Structure 1
């Protein structure tokens, strides 16, 4: 009887063990809740290339923009729990949007953290048509023309949206929120002068800044960025009261075999430590992660609670 039980347990464990050893056995989709060209997409494509090399398989980025990154998260949460659907998410979709949008999945229970990739500042940028070269000049213009200035975001509930509302409160100004389905679309309207302001991530805005199409006025973090050393923080520029940064992390469908998650965690940690990836992430203004998977899981939950409290206190609602 004991031998039969041992044999039965071994038979039951075989499919799980085989899946972990043979992973991946088909193309892996890396879901991204933003358009091609945005910060999340740029980072996901870096990972897709490196993971394809590490696992000797096909890792393909699948852009599903909209609903503050939650469309991609929803598809990942409901995918087969076999590790062949991954999600590169930000605190927009994981910690902010769930408090503003009715979802058909639970971002904490239905998505399992694999690892933190990078944290980047948000940067206050304006188009070249805006006659302001620092925060004080911008605030003066906005106070002289209340509700005439528009600020773009990658969607309702994004870090750009929350930062814009925080700036309105902290600076005592009024501006109109214009949400887009991703940062890349918003960039075109800023360059064209249809929208004047954006609190974009450095990972998304750096290309436009370096090309001279955006004027960076301030970082929304406590310290300056080594990639933008000449740009002050908002506090240094005279606007105090709020900070905002954006983190990028990888998640997998809850229920994925632990051995598969462990392999993903191990390879992701190796990739983030690669010198060329470190250089690329820092070039986007980011700080590559040094957190353990357990620390990232704790951070994910704390961020969910922190933004929930902030949204409630600021009475931020869907537009």
Structure 2
């Protein structure tokens, strides 16, 4: 009996030592970073900057792998089903990680199927009107909507996008009703906004800054708690009396659920170190992203995802949003 116990104890110790050695040697092979969108977009930019600079800082081999499809759901699905060994990561976005499953266009659970690693960057929504529009403030928009429900034509880059949900959330908080006009993207909506065929447009600050800087459009409200450095005179949704009205696109690294905690924590530490690099911050800022400068914990990212799910589920259900 004692001999059997000793053998079992030896096997257990050997297994523990092997696991510890494996963690110490991580990574011993290239790390795949799935990018759920085509090359050239915002998510691709964030993923490539992080991968490149993380490789330079650590000597690790990281390979971005673009897997576009189904509005970002294909890449998330592949990542969630990958082996949970730390060698497959995904540059997730709240639109594909959280919102797509709520709309029924993602076959994964944003909480159960992934191990959040670190939040990397974000970009708030902003509402704009044409430069010569009669609406000078958000209150003007809401007053007109209350006087004639459905008369305000509100455009977004598409059904279920962060811009669309920001507008629906505003209507729910303010007790107003707009007429949603979805487009296939920002470039398709802007001519109609500037031509007066729609009243307002909501998308990310980054995508609409060119029109604001050129003076062809005016910003009325930023959907965040803090004012944007690029728009210091534009009030936030919270300042205007709608706490909980924040709508922000964010990007963060996730791994398959079950990835060893030691690996997740190490990745968090190394990526946070990269995010503190001024050169990295400049690259992401130039791409329209507000960098989370290297202080985000795993737990904070977990909490963000868990809080986003009920928030946007409520908005989607109240607005009866269906995927197109």
With structure 2 as the length reference, what TM-score do the two structures score? Answer: 0.77
Rate the CA distance shift 1:177–1:252 in 2: closer, same or farther, 3 A: farther
- Asked whether 1:51 is paired with 2:50, we answer no
Tell me the CA shift for residue 145 of structure 1. Answer: 10
Q: 2:27 aligns with which of 23, 27, 30?
A: 23
Tell me if structure 2 keeps the 8 A contact 1:115–1:296.
Answer: yes
Write the distance in 2 (CA, Å) between the matches of 1:44 and 1:211.
30
Write the distance in 1 (CA, Å) between the matches of 2:144 and 2:311.
32
Rate the CA distance shift 1:10–1:235 in 2: closer, same or farther, 3 A: closer
Rate the CA distance shift 1:121–1:89 in 2: closer, same or farther, 3 A: same
Q: How many pairs align?
A: 310
The answer for the alignment partner of 2:114 in structure 1 is: 111
Rg comparison, structure with higher value: 2
Please give the residue correspondences for 1:72-83 in structure 2 after superposition, counting only pairs within 5 Å: 72-83=75-86
Cα deviations by residue, 1:256-314 (Å, 9 ceiling, x for unpaired): 233432331111111122223344555636262533212221232122233334434x2
The answer for the alignment partner of 1:301 in structure 2 is: 306
Cα deviations by residue, 1:217-252 (Å, 9 ceiling, x for unpaired): 321223321221022234666888833223322101
Rate the CA distance shift 1:303–1:238 in 2: closer, same or farther, 3 A: closer
Tell me if structure 1 keeps the 8 A contact 2:100–2:106.
Answer: no
The answer for the alignment partner of 1:292 in structure 2 is: 297
Tell me if structure 2 keeps the 8 A contact 1:217–1:232.
Answer: yes
Tell me the CA shift for residue 116 of structure 1. Answer: 1.4
Tell me if structure 1 keeps the 8 A contact 2:33–2:91.
Answer: no
Write the distance in 2 (CA, Å) between the matches of 1:45 and 1:54.
14
Write the distance in 2 (CA, Å) between the matches of 1:63 and 1:133.
42
Q: 1:199 aligns with which of 202, 216, 221?
A: 202
Write the distance in 2 (CA, Å) between the matches of 1:49 and 1:213.
37
Write the distance in 1 (CA, Å) between the matches of 2:24 and 2:299.
21
Write the distance in 1 (CA, Å) between the matches of 2:119 and 2:261.
18
Please give the residue correspondences for 1:11-160 in structure 2 after superposition, counting only pairs within 5 Å: 14=18, 17-18=21-22, 21-23=25-27, 25-26=29-30, 28-32=32-36, 34-56=37-59, 57-67=61-71, 69-101=72-104, 103-126=106-129, 134-135=137-138, 146=150, 149-153=153-157, 155-160=158-163
Write the distance in 2 (CA, Å) between the matches of 1:24 and 1:126.
53
Write the distance in 1 (CA, Å) between the matches of 2:106 and 2:221.
34
The answer for the alignment partner of 1:216 in structure 2 is: 219
SS in structure 1 of the partner of residue 35 of structure 2: strand
The answer for the alignment partner of 1:316 in structure 2 is: 320
SS in structure 1 of the partner of residue 127 of structure 2: strand
Cα deviations by residue, 1:159-206 (Å, 9 ceiling, x for unpaired): 2221122334437342224154xxxxx122133337854322224444
Rate the CA distance shift 1:70–1:129 in 2: closer, same or farther, 3 A: farther
SS in structure 2 of the partner of residue 99 of structure 1: helix
